[in-house]
Structure 1
Amino acid sequence: MPRIGGGQQEANMSLDNTSQLERRPPDELVPSRYAVQVGDIEVLVISDGVLPLPTKMLGHNADSAVRAAWLKDMFLPQDAFDWSLNVVLVHSGGQTILIDAGLGLDPDLNLPRAGQLVKRLASAGIDLASVTDIVLTHMHMDHIGGLLVEGVKEQLRPDLRIHVAAAEVTFWEAPDFTHVNMPPGFPDALRSAATRFASEYRSQLRLFDEEHEVAPGVVVRRTGGHTPGHSVVRLASGEDRLTFAGDAVFTVGFDHPDWHNGFEHDPEEAARVRVRLLTELAATGEQLVATHLPFPSVGRVAVAGDAFRWVPAFWDY
């Protein structure tokens, strides 16, 4: 009869390994990057951490009872939950492109589980100096803050190109917060981060109006809505397609695309943009990644009656 297991010595080794796992810092047990191949384009989705926010911000125009029912159906807390923060690194045609730059480490925000991008790029073996281009979907602080972390600018190459819609830069010169629904302090923090970013990186900005090809198969297109210059990035190589939607799509946006997110500066236009984008993605069947969908946020969109359905990708190991 064959012997099962390896005796007491192997059992002790197994127990030792278990105890070592338990002693590791908790963040080491959470996956923080996920690789996707889009034809010849290499893609790495990187988690910048999570951002705890009030659930009302998912749909401040929705009936509170309907919103509560949706949260219950999704097994989510009623008051607040953690929004994912996803960033994408792309390698195409000899260029290394970072799409958005995470929240950063503003000490006044007290958000210790966010702002992980710089650390996680390093753990993935990616040198900041290797980044040739940065594409910003928009200039909210959770998309530009990583560039404002102390010491980061000095590590970036002097010929770095930062691509952002001209309408976005113009908007943040005198931003309008009359239609948002944010927690106290957020408008001031957003305004401050955008002002500082524009000042520190103005010479490296490469502005576009509606659409711009950053690298072979990497095209950024302005959608507006969430902010006037909000943009999405489409990757295309061979028969493969992937769209990084930035903040055009949130978790609730599939079931209720007409719900207004608290960070949207033009919520009605943002809802129209969301419906157009989801309709397009459902028709093409291409992959979708977005900033605030649960990590790694890789999936596809299906039509479900008058709404949509999120179809997460099976993780490819």
Structure 2
Amino acid sequence: MEISEAGASVSEPVARGRHAPEEAVPSRYALQIGEIDVLVVSDGVLPLPTAMLGHNAEPADRAAWLKDMFLPPDAFDWPLNAVLVRSGEQTILIDAGLGLDPDLHLPRAGQLALRLEAAGIDLASVTDVVLTHMHMDHIGGLLVDGVKSRLRPDLRIHVAAAEVAFWQTPDFSQTAMPPGFPDALRSAAKRFTNAYSKELRPFDETHTVAPGVVVHRTGGHTPGHSFVRLTSGKDRLTFAGDAVFPVGFEQPDWHNGFEHDPEEAARVRVRLLEELAGTGEWLVATHLPFPSIGRVAREGEVFRWVPAFWDY
């Protein structure tokens, strides 16, 4: 079944399995980038105050944007997306979702392991994990009880060396998070590095994980924040992690509450959006509405998100 406009097709190897009976809406979406199989998987949603979308913006401007988008004024459900990639003999998980943090009471997130299982994906088949950064909604799924024992003993976890170094003594001075989140982030990062120190494969700036799968450090959101570019034939897709949020197309200079260097994060965002608007390649990001597959168009000095038409 072909997506004629996208030049992509549903990938049978990663699309098999059935939706869990309790699911009212789809939680995974398969496509193909050349010879690379891609599966976008929803980890659920993370409810956060709307001020987190742009804490440097005037409240009236932020409220106007939310109203124009038909979104509630006080709390916004941030989507959480991860990606499973098959390239050659490797199966690569890009980010691992939130997992479970009972102190934060987030029951609608942390669904990744269950949804991979529903898709027929055995955790033991994952050869590599790429982390865009080490915020808990990207590493927490690896900390769920019983997950590590189901992973391969030779698993490789690729993450920027600058990210690992940052979380040894993290600086939250420029963030604007709700209470409890800095402590939860710090705790999750410490637990992760303790649990997976032997599996870590730190890289400096650019690293090839598999044929056509290259990770690039961007910085900004966190010092080691990275995006992953998939390239096969004429097809390209960039998984941007937290480099862009729903408001970031129209308001790329608004600062997200989780950004550890907001000014640099805005520069990274603009550079990425300018590049994608020029190339027309696919974009997927952690916090764009599932399945978060689309393209970027230029609108004067700002940008426009153009979501893909779903292929049924």
Q: Give the Cα separation in 1 of the matches to 2:264 and 2:65.
A: 23
Aligned to 2:121: 126
Match of 1:283 in 2: 278
TM-score under structure 1 length normalisation: 0.92
How much has 1:108 moved relative to structure 2?
Answer: 1.5
Deviation (angstroms), 1:26: 8.8
- SS of the aligned residue for 1:28 comes to coil
Q: Please give the residue correspondences for 1:127-142 in structure 2 after superposition, counting only pairs within 5 Å.
A: 127-142=122-137
Aligned to 1:233: 228
Partner of 2:28: 33
Q: Shift of residue 28 of structure 1?
A: 1.0
Counterpart of 1:19 in structure 2 is none
What residue number does 1:68 align with?
63
Return closer, same or farther for 1:180/1:27 CA change in 2, 3 Å cut-off: farther
Q: How far apart are the structure 1 equivalents of 2:23 and 2:117?
A: 14
Segments of structure 1 that go 5 or more residues without pairing to the other structure are 1-23
1:209 equivalent in structure 2: 204
| Residue equivalent to 2:40 | 45
CA distance in 2, matches of 1:26, 1:155: 24
Q: Which residue of 1 aligns with 2:6?
A: none
> Do 2:46 and 2:79's aligned partners in 1 also have CA atoms closer than 8 Å?
yes
**263, 283, 288: which one aligns with 1:293:** 288
Give, in whole Å, the separation in 1 of the partners of 2:307 and 2:79: 15
Specify the code of the residue in structure 2 equivalent to 1:284. Answer: T
Structure 1 residue 309 corresponds to structure 2 residue 285: no
User: Counterpart of 1:114 in 2: which secondary structure?
Assistant: coil
Paired residue type of 2:59: S
Distance (whole Å) between structure 1 residues aligned to residue 310 and residue 237 of structure 2: 16
Letter in 2 for 1:132: T
Which one has the largest radius of gyration?
1
| CA distance in 1: counterparts of 2:55 and 2:106, whole angstroms | 23
Structure 1, residues 71-124: CA drift from partner, whole Å, max 9, x if none? Answer: 000000000011000000000011000000000012222111000000000000
- Structure 1: distance between partners of 2:205 and 2:20: 44
Partner of 1:164: 159
Q: Which amino acid aligns with 2:294?
A: G
Give TM-score scaled by structure 2 length. Answer: 0.93
Q: How many residues align?
A: 294
Determine whether 1:173 maps to 2:168: yes
Number of the residue aligned with 1:113 = 108
Moved over 4 A (4+): 24-27
Q: Structure 2: any 5+ residue segments left out of the alignment? A: 1-18
> Which digits, 9 at most, give the CA deviation of each residue in 1:31-89, with x for residues without a partner?
10000110000000000000000000000000000000000000000000110000000
Report the aligned-residue RMSD: 1.1
Query: Per the alignment, in what secondary structure is the counterpart of residue 29 of structure 1?
Result: coil
1:177-198 per-position Cα deviation (integer Å, ceiling 9, x unaligned)? 0000000010000000000000
Q: How is 1:2-41 mapped onto 2 (pairs within 5 angstroms)?
A: 27-41=22-36
Counterpart amino acid of residue 96 in structure 1: T
CA contact (8 A) 2:104 2:180 kept: no
| CA drift at 1:141 | 0.1
Q: Say which structure is richer in helix.
A: 1
For residue 266 of structure 1, what is the aligned residue in structure 2? 261
Cα distance in structure 2, aligned partners of 1:279 and 1:36 = 24
Q: Distance in 1 between matches of 2:260 and 2:47?
A: 20
Contact kept? 2:20, 2:118, Cα under 8 Å: no
Once the two structures are superposed, what CA deviation does each residue of 1:249-284 show, in whole Å capped at 9, x if it has no partner? Answer: 000000000000000000000000000000000001
Could you say which residue in structure 2 is the equivalent of 1:6? none
User: Aligned partners of 1:184 and 1:105: how far apart in 2?
Assistant: 18
1:187 paired to 2:185: no
The answer as to whether partners of 2:159 and 2:200 remain within 8 angstroms in 1 is yes
Identical columns (%): 80
